[in-house]
Amino acid sequence: MPVMPGKTALLELLKQEGVRVMFGNPGTTELPLMDALAAEHELRYVLALQEAAAMGMADGYAQASGGLAVVNLHVAPGLGNAMGMLYDAQKAGSPVIVTAGQHEQGFNLTEPLLWADLPIIARPFVKWSAEVRQLSDLPRAIHRAAKTALAPPSGPVFLSLPGDILLASGELDLGEPTRVAPAIRGDARAIAAAAELLAKAESPVIIAGDAVPQHDALGELVELGELLGAPVYDEGMASRAMFPSSHPLYHGALVRLPGAIRAMLGQHDLLASIGADLFTLSLPGDVESLPDGMPVVHLDTDPWELGKNYPAKSAILGNPKATLPELTEAVRRVRTMAQAQRAAKRLEHVKAEGVASLARLHALAAASIDRHPIHALSLMQAIGEVLPAEAVVIDETVSSGVGLRRFLKSNDPQSFFGLRGGGIGWGLPAAIGAKLALPERPVVALIGDGSALYTIQGLWTAAHEKLAMVFVIINNSSYRILKQRTNAMKALAAQTDRYVGMDLDSPRVDFVAVARGFGLTAHRATQLSEVSDMLAAGLCADGPTLIDVEVDRSWKPV
């Protein structure tokens, strides 16, 4: 067995696991790792200026690459800074190994500066959390972490790495990686039961979730949707392109309010949830989201999601890529000629409805094209018209992105990434991670002004890495969504028209100056034509560009 220091072994183990990029922000407890990186030429270290940004970059990289990401943080404050973005990574199921440097073990009983019990802090937001206590355990810990992060349902893991482990040398058997084969096929009896329900349904509806793009099953879901003649909606907190946006069966994302969900589902007699949660809501309501007695067919890679909030007539634990073809074929086998004919008629009707609803959305956007400041819906339409089919869009528009996915040409699993967890500040660094994972594709980040300020330091990394990408700041100088929801309470704020802590206009943030200070090309747009021209130019630039777009600040219902 070779003799090597822990710091060198760590890098060799990560490379064994296929890691080629590490994100981080170093401190004193990371110095052994940084020293090892001085002699490392295969593994790229990407510096972020704050741990939340580093964590967001790793999350975006993991989602866009479909593989393992690694982020290294600095003891308790560094892990604390990253917790909001770690929550988002957990909700998105991102396979990230999160590591943090820890003080040397012989020193920790004295409770030195910045020390804390790191695995306990991370545990609520990861699949597995541990500290490496001896050098001989390092290979087993890294391989277990990688296997666990990637195994379905995927998600982040955490390892605390004490300094004495990385500095010690010894004989080490580095072992080798293990991968849990993800193509789990659903139970045959559950598939048969689901097929019977789907064949009999007179008006089925499909809700698609993250498990579909994570396992590259968009084509398989299209085949099932066309067979059933069912409209397809994204789950309410969509982090990926669940269904091709150009397909006429696609009807957009669910509104995260129980009354709106119930009204939509009330037009149907069966719900098929394919990798989606039922339901992630923004606010409570007076009614349940699912109509009484509505049968549910639920397929997911995570048994926790099956029947979590609503009972499923058929709950199938399985990978959509492996299971949907069997389910589709089972429906073909069991349905009658009359059922097949009704489904074919339904397909034409639902397709026509999808085309008509998209036309209405385009008409609404066109009607506001001359408004000043720029209307958000018209902005989304203009962006969709400029972006090429191969573009990758990272969306953290929060309150301004209505209709975005329907305007985009997002037809593959890597074409769109959204804020799955809801912890704002994710989009800007996630876009950087996505660009590093997909360097040949144009990457555009659409970020609300309030969200951007949480991780604005990420712009420096984009400039430092010379990433050719575009950041579009949707600037309404406020936390608009908070005003909307406070107003909806119809209480004191609505009566006094005073909304405390929700405006960002005194002073207004000069995003152009901030971006230029971080080394980006930056512009301000006040007209829609300027946005289109600037975006087109940014897509052709050889470095990062920021476009600050002044949009309509209105937020009260018309």
Secondary structure (DSSP) of 285-313: -SS-SSPTT--EEEEES-TTTTTSSS--S
542 and 467 in contact (C-beta within 8 Å)?
no
Locate the domains of the chain by residue range.
Answer: 3-171, 188-356, 368-550
1 and 173 in contact (C-beta within 8 Å)?
yes
Q: What distance in Å separates the CA atoms of residue 270 and residue 205, rounded to the nearest whole number?
A: 6
CATH numeric code, 368-550? 3.40.50.970
Which of the two residues, 124 and 490, has the higher pLDDT score?
Answer: 124
225 and 206 in contact (C-beta within 8 Å)?
yes
Q: What is the mean pLDDT of the chain?
A: 95
Confidence band (pLDDT; 50, 70, 90) for 558? low
Residues of the chain with pLDDT > 90, as a percent, come to 87
448 and 404 in contact (C-beta within 8 Å)?
no
Q: Which fold has domain 188-356?
A: Rossmann fold (3.40.50)
Q: What distance in Å separates the CA atoms of residue 475 and residue 232, rounded to the nearest whole number?
A: 31
Structure token digits, residue 113: 């500066």
> What pLDDT sits at residue 483?
86
534 conformational bin, left if phi > 0, alpha if psi -120 to 50, beta if neither: alpha
Please give the C-alpha separations between residue 365 and each of 150, 356, 368, 407, 512, in angstroms, as whole numbers: 41, 14, 5, 10, 27
Stretch 205-220: mean pLDDT: 96
Question: In the predicted model, is pLDDT for residue 485 greater than 90?
Answer: no
> What pLDDT sits at residue 259?
92
Stretch 19-44: mean pLDDT: 96
Q: What distance in Å separates the CA atoms of residue 68 and residue 99, rounded to the nearest whole number?
A: 13
Stretch 443-462: mean pLDDT: 97
Q: What distance in Å separates the CA atoms of residue 73 and residue 71, rounded to the nearest whole number?
A: 7
Which residues touch 254 (CB under 8 Å, ≥6 apart)?
207, 233, 234, 235, 236, 260, 261, 264, 279
Residues of the chain with pLDDT > 70, as a percent, come to 100
Q: What distance in Å separates the CA atoms of residue 509 and residue 356, rounded to the nearest whole number?
A: 40
Stretch 184-193: mean pLDDT: 97
Question: In the predicted model, is pLDDT for residue 340 greater than 90?
Answer: yes
Give the model confidence (pLDDT) of 115-157 as tens digits: 999 999 999 999 999 999 999 999 999 999 999 999 999 999 9
Question: What superfamily in CATH does domain 3-171 come from?
Answer: Thiamin diphosphate (ThDP)-binding fold, Pyr/PP domains (3.40.50.970)
Q: Where are the alpha helices (DSSP H) in 274-424?
A: 320-334, 337-367, 376-386, 404-407
Dihedral sign, CA of 363, 366, 371, 376? positive
Question: In the predicted model, is pLDDT for residue 37 greater than 90?
Answer: yes
